[in-house]
Every structure is written in structure tokens, then in C-alpha cells.
Structure 1
Amino acid sequence: MQYLKKIKPWQWGVITFLSIALLYFAIPPDNPLFNTEYSTVIRDEQGDLLHAYINKEEQWHFPPSEGIIPEKLKKAVISYEDEAFYSHPGIDPSAIARALYNNLKEGEITSGASTLTMQLARMRNPKSRSYFHKLLEVIDALKIELHYSKEEILNLYLNHAPYGGNVIGYQTAAYKFFGKKPQQLTWGEAATLAVLPNAPGLIYPGEPSKLLEVKRNSLLKKLLDRGTIEELTYQLASIEPVPDQFITFAKDAPHLSRFLKMKYPDQKELNTTISKKIQRISNQIAEKHHTVLAPYSIHNLSILIADTKTGAIKAYVGSPDFFDAQHNGQVDGVQAARSSGSILKPFLYALSMDEGLILPQSLIRDLPTYFDGFAPSNANETFQGVATAKEALVSSLNIPAVRLLNAYGIFQFYTFLKMAGVSTLFRSADDYGLPLILGGAEVNMWDMVTLYRALANEGVVQNNSLLKEESSQQGKQVMSAGASFLTLEMMKELVRPGSEYYWRRFSNQQQFAWKTGTSFGHKDAWAIGVNPQYTIAVWVGNFNGETNKNLSGASSAGPILFDLLQALPVKPGKKWFIKNEMDFTPKKICSLSGFAATKACTEVDTVDAPYFMKPLRTCDYHETRYFSTDGKYQTCSHCWDKLGAVEKSVTLYAPDIAYYLRENGQYIEAIPRHFPDCPRYKSEQSIEIIYPNLDAKLFLPRDYDGEIQEVICKVGNTQAVEKVYWYLNESFLGSTEENHKMAIHFKPGKNYLKVVAENGSEDSRTVFAQVKE
């Protein structure tokens, strides 16, 4: 205490000043040092520029890079601006003294003696040039030096230095003046960027600046004299032209860039998974096919390409021309919900295998079908009778798909789609109904790529990713690995368009599992395919939703899909999916029906079935029957003594199946009827009215003269029925032989149709008819 009393007032002032100064320098400067609104920058997987957005101050100012400053630029800047940068504490006392002497001698400020650190201090707090403001810069520079390393200071300076016009920061300048990354700058370009912050007005768009060239070459000569560069490098760098224009930034993925900017508004640097090479290939192919399709009034298409394994998006084309306002070019077709057409069918087939409903070899009915007023039809308006699951999927038959969905369950399939990440379904399962599988649902390209990747990844669905820092989420098992593999094997057989039809003849061609889809009314055309490296989705149509008969998945979207496949870079490695034997179990099936074989099946195959599939239903196309010794009749225990009993396996087709198989030229062996004199004889149901259908309502067309036209009615038969007798409202109409069709005049309202076969079998139904006005 006694010592403190001896301190004089002026000494207290000094102590107070020093304490305040120490406290001031001890407190770190603002963090971040610059409160700047940066441009939004979108980069590809290699860090190349995809797109950039100007900031709110109408400046091009890329976010600061934390990476290593290019060595050429670093040496050029330090040589030009501050040779003692690494040795001074933020200020250069000798330079300040020299500048002060010169300024006093001249009577005006002629030199500033600013170090890089002082220039950084002035950048963050711009002030007019005066001795007082220079003092503030000195103080701020000293404080910055205390809290930042030299590399950090140099980085901050280069990232916030003005380069002329509205260009701020060395990264921006490298792209704006030279169209390249800073790491790719030549010595001449690095020297240009080194001298520009000191005189940013030297950039004249459209006209090379002689003064800028002189300053640059002077710096290059200085670098040569100090041994930083060699003579040849100096000579080559000196003859490089100085920039005379501002280069327009790349816009390789405008729809993607806008999507990311809206999704991450606070993130100024977005490093995507996009491959610029693949993106540009996709852009070129999109433009090429846009030109081909435009004369047919088809103006829009979209492309999405993902890495099959990881889900990293490699190309994203929302439309061929972002600036085509006439045809809604700014609509993002990747995210837009459109009718699915047939592209959901592969997942129904895979799920049905797990459920035990089918295997690829199993037969599915392809017949006129009615479900509560819904009557699906195939694209070619024909019926095969039956088709294997593989044939039905490869040919994209609609009726087998609807029948399969009805057997699998609408709600179950709808739940699968929701669980697998289809985000666009906004109605209930019942509201979608059976048309769900034919395009009644709305889907987008993003979700479809996710789904198709699940087929390729052993039934595990995992989200796509657009940003490199996005972590891979835990996948969900939505289908078995075995069913997924078998579905891919079926899809591989789909006929390719154009010259790709002959792809098997060329050893370098890639195997590819793909599916097309065309929506009702020809508004949307899809083609999606997958192999171990890429999953590719293509949509073609018009964003205004107009109908166009020229649109189809196979002819409109398919050629684009295979142009992309052939143009994409191929990595060495597996060319097709490896079959894991542990995912399968051997299953004995009927060679004809493709269902679990019974003792009645004459030929049996052993095939691979998904290991965890439910029990496959047994074959009902074969039965064991007994026949007379001469083979003319079927017999039973009541007539065996008289006619004999020869056991034989027979193929049984339902009457409607048999009818259409015969229509398509297939020979159906008729089964002899039971011995009519047998005491236990009872006529079998061997005929069936297959049109009009039991659930159908007939609309009677009128002829050109107003007369109601006839309706062709059809009867199918399984046994050897030579003659069928027809009756309408109890009135005999006539008989048919072999091919049982008859043209009948129905009256409006309720009609009663009956048919009787010569063996006693009969069928009837009530037909409600309405005149079509």
C-alpha cells in the first residue's frame, strides 16, 4: 500500500494507458474478421465450378477457401506487396519512416508503406486516407498479427482483395479472368492477380490494358532477378495476354444449382457429387434429342444419373434449355411428379416372388379382365391367354400386371412404395386402386432412381445424395436379394431400340436391366435402367401435360437412355451383378406352368427361387385322369370294368385361356368327355361364356344409319366340344362348330344369354346393355 501511495498521477496515467492497450490487444478481433455476404458457389466432385450466384451487394465474391494458397500466387503477391511479410510484426517501421519522410517532403501523401496485414485491416474497415486512419490501421494490423498466423492473414487478404469491377477474392478472379481454378494459374496469370488489388481499375473489359501488362512484366522481372523463376518461364509469361474481359461463369447444371440454393439458403459453398464430365455429356445428349423431338411437338426431357452403389448423383438435367421460357424450360423435371406409366411393374414382380405368387417361369392370365368397372387392356389391344411372368414384364403386358397386383394386394404394394421412399403419393391406396400399376400414381425421377438402385443393391433402398458431405444413411431391406436379382435378369431381356437391338453381337456392349413406361394419354415417356456402375433415368414429354401420340417410352426415352449408356465412362470391374448362391434355394416347378410341381406334372424343372420366399402355389394346369382303353372316354370306378382304366396326366386350360391360345395358333388337345352311359355320369363344366364378361356392362354401338349393331359373343371350351347351341331370352339363335363365336342383337336393358354344348355342359349369364349415343 505504501508503494502505491508513492506512484505519481502521471505514472498512473501511463499504467492505465498500458493496461488498456494490453487489454485491447489481448481481446481477439471479431470472428469472422469479415462480415461479408458471399456468393453461392456450386462445385462438382473435383471442386470444379458448376454454377455461381452473385451476392446481395451485386458482387462476385466466392466464400473464403481454407485450402493451401497456390505457391505461384503466394510468391508473386509477397514479392509485389510485402517482401518482409514473414519477418515483420504487422508493420514495417523502416518503411513507415521512409514513407513519412517522403510525404512530408512532398507536402502530400505519396506512399503508404502498408504491409499486407495493414491492407487487410483497411479492407475490413475502409476509411479515407489520412494520418489518423493510418494510425488506426497500424493498431489493427498489430492486433491481427497477435491472433492470426501468417498463412491465415495471407489467406484472408487474398480472399477479400478487390480485383476490379465487382470481382472480389483471388478464387473469383481466377475464374472471372482466366476461367480456371487458382491451382491451375500460370506464372503470368499469378503475377497479374498479384498486381491487380493495388490498382483494380486497370481491368478494362473488351480492351487489353497496357499499364497492367507493364506492371505484370515488372513483377515477373523481379521474380526472375531473385531466382524465383527461370529465364524461359519469364519470357513465356511475359508474352501472355493480359485479361480483357470478364468470363461468364459456367452454368452446367442450372436446375440442380437452383434446387440446392433453395434447399440450403445459408450454405454458400456446396460441394456436390456431380461429375462435370458426365453432366456435360448428359447436357449434350439432351440437346441433341431435344432437336430431334421438337418437330414432333415434344419439347421437354429430363435426365438423372446416379452411382448405383452409393447413390451419388453424377448428372442432373432438369430440362434441355433452362432459358426456354416458351416451353417452361425452368421447370425441374427431375423433381416434378408425373404419371409412372409401367415403371413400377418390376417391383410388383419382385415382391410377388417373395410372396410366393410367381417365379419368372410362372404363367399369368392375359385375358379380358374386369374389376368393378375397370377394364385394363394391353398396349397392342390383344390377348395371349397366358404369359410367363418374364414375358409379361419384358413385353410390359398390362393385364397380367393388374391381375398380379390384385393377387398381391393394392394396400400392400402402396405401403411398399411409401416405405421405399416414394414421396409423391398423396392419395390413399383405395383411391389409386388397381390403375396404380399402370400409371395411376404420380412419381418423380429422383424417387425412381432410388427405387431402381434398390433392385441393384440386393433389395436395400438407400437415399440418393447430392452433396459430398452427406453421410450414407442406413438402408432398408424392402425386397429380398434373390427376388431383386431375378427381376434384374428378366429386365435385361427387354428389347433395345434402334441399332441397340443387336447389342449381344458385340463383345464390348454392356449388360443393362431397363424398363420403359408410357402414361395414359401419351403424356409421359419413361426409360430407366441400371447396371453395377450407373442408374440412369430419362423422362420425355411436355411440362404443360399435353397429349402427344408420338410419345412412348420405347421410342422417345429409350434411345436417349442408350445414348447415355454408350457415352458414359466405364470403370474397370464387374460388368454385371454377381449372383450370391446363398440368396437362392432350388425349387422343382412344372415346366409348363412354372408353379410348384405335383405328381400330375409331366415335365419338371429345377430352378433357383428366392431363399426367403413364401411357399409357391402348386400347379393347377395338370391333373391325373382315367380313360377307357381305346382313349375315347374318361372313366371312373363305375365304368372301369366295362371300358378299362388307363391313368394319364392331362393338361387343363380354363375355357377362356384355351380360347385365346387357339386364337393365337396354339394347338390345345381336347380332353375326351366322360363315358355318357356311366351311372355316375354328370356333364362337366367344359364350356364358358368368355364375352360378354360377367361383370361387364355392354354399350351397344349404332351403325351409320342409326341401327343398333350386333355384338360378337365368344365361348371357350376345354373338352372336345364340336357343337354349341346359343339362346337369347329363351329363344334359339343357332349353333356354332369348332370356333364358337356368334354375332347377337341385344336389346337395351336386361338380356339372358345361354349356351349349351352337345355334351350337356352349359353356361349362362345376364347381360345389361345400354345404347351408346
Structure 2
Amino acid sequence: MKAARWRIARRGLALAVGLALAAWIGLPDPLIETSRFLHYEDSVEIADRHGAPLRFARSGASDRRWVPLASMSRDLIDAVVAVEDQRFWEHEGVDVRGTFRALVFNFVPGYRWSGASTITQQLVKLVYGRPHGVASKGVEIARALALERTFSKDEILEQYLNRLPYGNGIEGVERASQAYFGHSASELTLSEAALLAGIPQAPSATEPRRHLPRAMRRRALVLSRLEALGLRSAEEIAAARADEVRVVPTPPRPWRAARFVDVVQRERARGALIARGGSLRTSLDLALQDRAEQLLEARVRELAPRGVENGAAIVIANASGEVLAYVGAARRGHDAPGGALDLLRAPRQPGSTLKPFVYGLLFERGGTAASVLDDVATPMTGRAGVLYAPRDYDGTERGPVRARVALSSSLNLAALDAARRVGPDRVLARLEALGVRDVPSVEEVGAAAVLGGVDVRAVELAEAYVALARGGTRVPLRCVPGAIEEGTEVMPADAAAIVRDILADGRARAQAFGSDLHVESEGLEIALKTGTSTGFRDAWAAVFDDRVTVLVWLGDPDGGATRAVSGFEGAAPVAARLFAAAHARVASLGATVETSVREDVALQHASICAHTGLLAGARCHAVVTERFTAGTTPTRTCDAHAEDGALLLPPRYAEWIARVRPADVRVRTSEGSTLVTAPVVVHPRAGARMLADPRRGETRIPLRATIAGALADDVEWEIDGAVWREPTWPLRPGEHRFVARARGLRSDEARITVE
């Protein structure tokens, strides 16, 4: 056993001497990699825009902050040198006398091992570890000698003091001084410096909060060493021994706006955000954040009996895109559904919240708030080609309806008509331009995108509404204070102005939903759009004006249906309250929040027929005032009313009239007669595309035709040139032709495609 130990000792000593000589005479060797000695990244305090702490973010697994040697107490420097390496300023990296003594005495019975490592050697171990087994001591010596030729003594000491372990994951004297004494390493007293100097040799055993008596005994040893070396006078040492060290209690670690800080951390990781001086000020306003959390949590709690399990909200300054409040989950923690998630970044069905952007496309292509849309049920192809029959939220078909009424009332059928007019491809392209990711193809979703057929994330939707609030220019959302931005134009200012004007129409909103939310918004004028996804799974509300945009989501993160909680009933009230809270803070948040960047668009007023959207004529009994951008005011006068006051509509409304039977509404022919004798095929509608799914068995559709605007029961049918005598027809793939015959007259041919 002794022989084996001596063999190992001789090999280690020979290797140490050989490597040391190589380093000493300067032979080429790759032992020192200067890149390893670069300053590490500091731990960072992430704060709100006013400096209130949100979280203390460690650097990797360590709590550390690099400071130059000049910023460290001289007492600390002397104390560390005295206890760790009293000949540090004299040797050239290795204490030769101490090293040989350690090698010899290690093998003498009764003597304990003494490493005799200098500060330079210890720095090598801190940077490289000891990966070479028995040869590590030799490599360590060689590297220490090379290190002394590469760096100055002050540089070595600075590296060493910034890398020392102090327990609890603390690394370096600066964070240790702050953590244990509440102040910087430049302000350490001799007593505090001696205590810190004694910790690194056994951090887990001398960490002062848990093991203060041991730490004090170690401090006494350091003070004695300082006195023995003549580095401090006896009077100074006596005063230090009498000084009662006060270790501060563990400070409560801030953990505010957790999901927002997670976003900031991801931005830092990819280099988009840089901390200065150990601190990173974000755009968040903590007072508004607290209020947002309170409002949203209270609303979720209130609606919990109806299946609302959680909620999320974001508040944005329109001028700069700064995030002022960010509630990733109203109910937090692993016990709450979605409580550990960032629900603002979870893809969800947006319901009707995409409609304003479809209307924006309609308006920039010549449409106006007075344009008449068809709020009529028409079977259509939706996601993945599935056939479905959309309907309005109340099951009512309103027939011809003006765009202002359609959008403020969030009518599904009219929105589908708008989407068909502008083209589903343009709708999806506009959503991409607004920042919506993962937009499906036209074949996958078709015109159903306008009804929520595209999954979106709340942050994407909020960014789209900021663009609308800004008058059509998009800015990326930002987590730190910034400058007012011009943005990128994604829609013309004129079109955006009309959409905003409709969404801000409190009277139209109240007529549609029974309330204008004036009380909830504390009297502030708001533009509002709500959304409710299929099966009441998601309730949305976007509220905005020139300065601030608020977006709220409520629902079940697991996708469960609520008990009929709509966007207007569930999300809109809390969104309006949060909007009011944001406005109460605007004046104190600076120009990038308070400033409006929206281009003013002058709107002209005109009296129009409420039924047709044309200039009011002599027979129009329902006249309203509408607003138009320059050059879009209608020039035609309405002539769609008979002498008896009835509204005369084009033949395409014949089926709707027959089905709904609205009062004082008739079909009008091109000659002006109200009698239509030839039958009209109304179902299937000409040009329809339908899906036959063989997995569901045979799908049959009804055959319907009208005569003079009334459903006819005595028609005969020709399908693809052959007589068909049943009232329904089974869908068959291919192109098909339908003709209705009655009283010797034939309808126009209606062609459809079945896939």
C-alpha cells in the first residue's frame, strides 16, 4: 500500500515538475484559454418601468455579479490574501516551498494532507475543475505558472474574488456582500470582510444564516492571521472582534408578473434585450399589473360556476407597442387549470374578433359603412372542407343589412358575405400581415376564417387591434420602454377609420347587445369588439382608443365549454374596467404611452335609407345619418320602396323572404313588377360547393324553389337532365345541374359542385 502511494506521488511530482518547467520556459502549450476568463453574465434584477423589482434572474445556476477589483473593500482583499495565500504578491503562481512540503508530509504518518494551493492555483481549479485525476495537480501548477504570465496579479485576484463560492448558489464577493450584509463589497467593514473571507473554504458549513457560530470562529481565524502578518494593527483587530456582525435575513425574492418576466427572459436569451448595471427595466407598470390581476381574478371567480376556469389579459400602449400589463393566467399555480401556463400565447378560436379586419378589406375595396350585405343562411365549406350551415348568434336571418349594423351587431351571415366579396385568400393574407402565425390555407378554412376558423394567440390578436387603433399601422409588441414608432402600414387609414368608427358606436352597440358599457368604462368612449367561439369555449373582448388597447380572454384552458358565457357578457365588462384603470395611469407613464399616433381622417355625414344604404328618397320611411370617408358618399337616391311603402328586393332574396316572411318586403323584378311567375331555384344555390363525406353515410339535401317570392310545393325537378320526383337529393361527387319547372315555365339552371 505504501509502495503504491509512493509510486503515485513520484508520478504526480514528475508530471508537475515537467509541466511546470514547460510553462516556465515558455514552450508552446494550450494550457491557458483566455476565453474561459471572460467576465460571466451577471445576475439581473428585472424591474417594472419605475424600478419596482419583478424578479431576480440568476446567471445560469448561480447568483452572481461581477465587479472590478477597485470596487472591493481593501479589508476584504487583505483578509482573503491573508487566509488563502499570504505570499500571493511574491510568488509567480506556485508557492514552491509549500508545494514540496505538502507532497512530502502527505506521506508521513500522522500528518494531514495540505494542498498548499495558491490563489492562482485555486483560480485554475475554479475555472477548469480537476478533470485529470492524479495528474490534476501537475496540470494545475503548469496552468498557474502560465496564468501569472498571461494576467497581472490584480487581474488574477479580481477573477478569483468574483468566482468564489459563498453558499446558497451565491458566487463572487459582490453578491455575497449584498446577500449577507445588504450592501456592496466596496462598503464592507473589517469585521464583515473577515467573515466573508472565511466562507469559501467550506461554504456549506460556514454559510452565516444557517451556521453563524462556525462562520464567527472562522472569522476569528482570519482576524488573527491579519494581525500576525501585520496587515492590521492590534487596535483595528480588537475593534473588529468587538463588532457585532449583523447578517440580514433572507430577503423575500420578488416574483411578480411571472409570465411577462418569462417572456423578458426569453428575449434576453436570444440577445434582444440587454441589462445595464445588473438591472433591466421593462415597460410593465406594476400598479396597473396589480389592478389587472385583481380585476381578472375576480371576474373568473364570479363566472367559475358557469365553467370559466381561467383568464388572461394584456394592456398595450399604442404609440410604442409597450406592454403595460400582462396577465398570463388570472388563476395561478399548478392547482388551477392552466395556472402554470402563459394563456396569452396559447392558440385559441377567436370567435368574431377577426371580423373587423374583414370589414377593413371590404372598405378599402370601395365598401362603406352603408354597404348592404346579405345576412342570409347559406350552407358553405369550412375547415378541412367540412360542410356546415352557419347562423347568427340568435338564429335570426336579417336579410339585407348595412355594414355598420352587421359589424356592430357581430352578425355571422353578413360577415361571411363580406368575406366572400373580398375573397378568403385576401382575408388570410391580411391576418398574416397583422402578425397572426400559423394561418391555414384557403382550402383548409375558406371564408369560415371570419367566424374564428383560424386559431390565434391572444398576443397576436392584441397586436392586430393595436394596428387598428393606430389607424392601420402595425408595431411589434415590446417589453421595454421605447420610442414612439411610425409602424408598418397594413391597412389604409381611411378603411381603418371606418372600422374604428363602427366599433366605437355606443348607440349601435347598445341596440345590438343591450348595453354600451358606459358605466364599466367609467364614462370613457371606447371602441369594442367581442368574440365567442363555437360551443362557448372562448370569450373574448378587445377595447381600445387612440392610446391604449386592452384584450381579455376567458374560458377553460383545457378546451371545455362554458355555460353560455359570451364575449360580450363575460369578457367585455372586465375589459372595459381594465381599460379605465389603464387610462387612470396614462398621464404618469410618459409620452410613449400618452401620445396618440393615429392619423385623423375626416368623415362626412349624409342622410341615407336604413334599408338600402343609398341617399334617402321620398318614399324612405327609415332614414339614418351615416359617416363616410372622402369620395365614398353614395350618389344614387333610393328607389327601392313601392307606393304602399313596401321594400322591394332583388330576386336573390326570394328564398329568404319566403322563409322568414318579413313584413312589407317583396321581391322586385328588373322591370319593376312585384310578380315573378317563373320558378327560381333557391336550394341548392347556384355556385355552391358541397362536401359528401362517405364516412357519414348518405347526406341528402332539400330541394326548394320559389314562385313570386313564395316557396312553391308544386314544382317538378330536373337534375342533370333527368326527372327527379323526390323532395330531397343525395349528394354525389361531381358537377350537377338543377332546374325547377312549374306552369310550363323553367327556372334558370343552378350548377353546383360536390366534392
Q: Same fold (TM over 0.5)?
A: yes
1:541 corresponding residue in structure 2? 555
SS at match of 2:26: helix
| 2:345 counterpart of 1:335 | yes
Distance of aligned partners of 1:332 and 1:92 in 2 relative to their CA distance in 1, 3 Å threshold: same
Letter in 2 for 1:438: L
Whether the 8 Å contact between 1:590 and 1:601 is mirrored in structure 2 is no
- In the alignment, the residues of structure 1 paired with residue 75 and residue 681 of structure 2 have an alpha-carbon distance, to the nearest angstrom, of 89
CA distance in 2, matches of 1:191, 1:366: 82
Alignment partners' CA distance in 1, 2:324 and 2:82 = 45
Deviation, 1:200, is 1.7
The match for 2:76 is 77
Deviations 1:87-127 (A, max 9, x none): 9985579x98999999999x989999988666534423557
**Aligned with 1:344: secondary structure?**
helix
Ranges in structure 2 where 5+ consecutive residues have no aligned partner: 1-18, 234-239, 382-386, 687-703, 717-724, 730-738, 751-755
- Corresponding residue to 1:461 among 462, 474, 484: 474
- Indicate how the Cα distance of structure 1 residues 172 and 601 shifts in structure 2: closer, same or farther if over 3 A, else same: farther
Task: Tell me how far apart the structure 2 counterparts of residues 356 and 285 of structure 1 sit (CA, whole Å).
Answer: 41
Inter-partner Cα distance in structure 2 for 1:184 and 1:522 = 61
Provide the C-alpha distance between the structure 1 equivalents of 2:465 and 2:246, rounded to a whole number of angstroms.
Answer: 51
Of 673, 691, 695, which aligns to 1:684? 673
Aligned partner letter, 1:340: P
Structure 2 residue corresponding to 1:253, chosen from 240, 254, 258: 258
Alignment of 1:538-687 (within 5 A): 538-568=552-582, 569-570=585-586, 571-573=589-591, 577=596, 580-581=599-600, 584=601, 589-592=606-609, 609=629, 616=632, 618=634, 622-623=638-639, 684-685=673-674
The change in CA–CA distance for 1:70 and 1:532 in structure 2 (over 3 A counts) is farther
1:344 Cα deviation after fit: 0.5
Separation in 1 of the partners of 2:148 and 2:378?
83
Q: Is the 8 A contact 1:727 1:753 kept in 2?
A: no
Name the aligned partner's letter for residue 489 of structure 1: D
Compute the RMSD of aligned alpha carbons. 6.6
Query: Per-residue CA shift, 1:254-281, capped at 9, x if unaligned?
Result: 5863896699599999969563726555
What CA distance in whole angstroms lies between the structure 1 residues aligned with 2:300 and 2:157?
48
- 2:163 maps to 160
Q: Is the 8 A contact 1:256 1:316 kept in 2?
A: no
Q: Which piece of structure 1 moves more, 254-263 or 556-565?
A: 254-263
* CA gap 1:510/1:100 in 2 versus in 1, 3 angstroms: farther
User: Could you list the per-position Cα deviations for residues 612-636 of structure 1 after superposition, in whole angstroms to 9, with x for gaps in the alignment?
Assistant: xxx74846661399x9xxxx89xxx
> How far apart, CA to CA, are the structure 2 residues paired with 1:690 and 1:374?
26
Please list the CA deviations of residues 468-502 of structure 1 after superposition, one character each: whole Å capped at 9, or x if unmatched: 99x99995422012322332333234569999933
Q: Match for 1:124 among 120, 123, 127?
A: 127
Q: Secondary structure of the equivalent of 1:319?
A: coil
The answer on whether the counterparts of 2:472 and 2:489 sit within 8 Å (CA) in structure 1 is yes
> Please, which of 421, 446, 449 is the counterpart of residue 433 of structure 1?
446
Select 1:479's aligned residue among 491, 494, 503. Answer: 491
Kindly indicate whether the alpha-carbon contact (under 8 Å) linking 1:411 and 1:430 is maintained by their aligned counterparts in 2: no
Deviation at 1:438, TM superposition (A): 1.2
Give the alignment's TM-score, normalised by structure 1.
0.63
Partner residue in 2 for 1:398: 412
- Structure with bigger helix share is 2
Match of 1:729 in 2: 714
- Kindly indicate whether the alpha-carbon contact (under 8 Å) linking 1:586 and 1:607 is maintained by their aligned counterparts in 2: yes
The alignment of Structure 1 onto Structure 2 pairs a total of residues equal to 653
Using the TM superposition, give the Cα deviation of residue 162 of structure 1 relative to its aligned residue in structure 2, in angstroms.
0.7
Q: Distance in 2 between matches of 1:237 and 1:503?
A: 62
- Structure 1, unmatched stretches of 5+, are 1-15, 228-233, 634-648, 675-680, 698-711, 718-724, 732-745, 756-761, 768-773
Please give the secondary structure, in 2, of the residue aligned with 1:338: coil
Equivalent position SS for 1:197: coil
Question: Separation in 2 of the partners of 1:464 and 1:38?
Answer: 26
SS in 2 for 1:729: coil
Does the aligned pair in 1 maintain the 2:314–2:551 contact within 8 Å? yes
| Partner in structure 2 of residue 424 of structure 1 | 438
CA distance in 2, matches of 1:266, 1:320: 29
- Residues 330-339 or 320-329, more deviating: 320-329
Counterpart in 2 of 1:444? Answer: 457
Q: Pick which of 515-524 and 389-398 moved more.
A: 389-398
Percent identical across equivalent pairs? Answer: 22
Quote how far apart the aligned CAs of 1:695 are.
Answer: 4.4
- 578 and 257 in structure 1: CA distance in 2 versus 1, 3 angstrom threshold: closer
Structure 1's 235 and 503: CA in aligned 2 closer, same or farther, altered over 3 A? farther
How far residue 283 of structure 1 moved from its aligned partner, in angstroms, is 4.7
Distance (Å, rounded) in 2 between the aligned partners of 1:293 and 1:79: 64
* CA deviation profile, 1:715-759 (whole Å, cap 9, x unmatched): 999xxxxxxx9974299xxxxxxxxxxxxxx9955998999xxxx
Where do 1:157-556 residues align within 5 Å? Answer: 157-169=160-172, 196-203=199-206, 207=210, 209-212=212-215, 238=244, 240-243=246-249, 250=255, 252-253=257-258, 257=262, 273=282, 275=284, 277=286, 282-320=292-330, 323-324=333-334, 327-358=337-368, 360-367=369-376, 375-384=389-398, 387-426=401-440, 428-465=441-478, 476-493=488-505, 501-503=517-519, 511-556=525-570
The amino acid that maps onto 1:554 is F
Aligned residue type for 2:36: L
Distance 2:678 2:436 in 1: 42
1:421-448 CA-to-partner distances (Å, cap 9, x unmatched) read: 321223x214322322112222122321
Per-residue CA deviation, residues 652-676 of structure 1 (Å, 9 max, x unaligned), is 6669999999x999997999x99xx
CA spacing shift, 1:501–1:664, aligned 2, 3 Å = farther
- Match for 1:300: what amino acid? N
Change (3 A) 1:566 1:158: farther
C-alpha distance in 2 between matches for 1:448 and 1:371: 26
Deviation of the 1:18 alpha carbon: 9.4
Give CA deviations for 1:280-309 in whole Å, capped at 9, x if unaligned.
555555544443343333223233444433
1:645 aligned residue: none
- Tell me the SS of whatever aligns to 2:352: coil
8 Å contact 2:640–2:649 — kept in the other structure? no
Q: Is the 8 A contact 1:323 1:329 kept in 2?
A: yes
**Gap change, CA 1:502 and 1:445, over 3 Å in 2:** closer
Q: Kindly indicate whether the alpha-carbon contact (under 8 Å) linking 1:622 and 1:650 is maintained by their aligned counterparts in 2.
A: no
In structure 2, how many angstroms separate the alpha carbons of the residues matched to 1:575 and 1:414? 33
Preserved contact between residue 527 and residue 557 of structure 1 (Cα < 8 Å): yes
Contact 2:320 2:485 in 1 (8 A): no
User: For each residue in 1:450-476, what CA deviation from the matched residue of structure 2 results, as whole angstroms up to 9, or x when unmatched?
Assistant: 21222133322343345899x999954
Contact 1:177 1:247 in 2 (8 A): no
C-alpha separation in 2, matches of 1:572 and 1:465: 16
- Cα contact 1:41–1:268 (8 A) shared by 2: no
Helix, strand or coil: the match of 1:210? helix
Give the CA deviation at 1:403: 2.0
Structure 2 residue matching 1:464: 3-state secondary structure: coil
Superposed CA deviations along residues 536-579 of structure 1, whole A, max 9, x for unmatched, are 33222223322222432123322443444344442255757465
Structure 2 vs 1, CA of residues 272 and 598 (structure 1 numbering), >3 Å: closer, same or farther? same
- Tell me the SS of whatever aligns to 2:343: coil
Closer, same or farther: CA 127–365 of 1 in aligned 2, 3 Å: closer
1:11-160 maps to which residues of 2 (within 5 A)? Answer: 21=24, 23=26, 29-33=32-36, 43=46, 48=53, 50=55, 60-62=61-63, 65=65, 71=71, 74=73, 77-78=76-77, 80-82=79-81, 91=90, 119-125=122-128, 144=147, 147-148=150-151, 153=156, 156-160=159-163
- 1:580 CA displacement: 3.3
TM-score by length of 2: 0.64
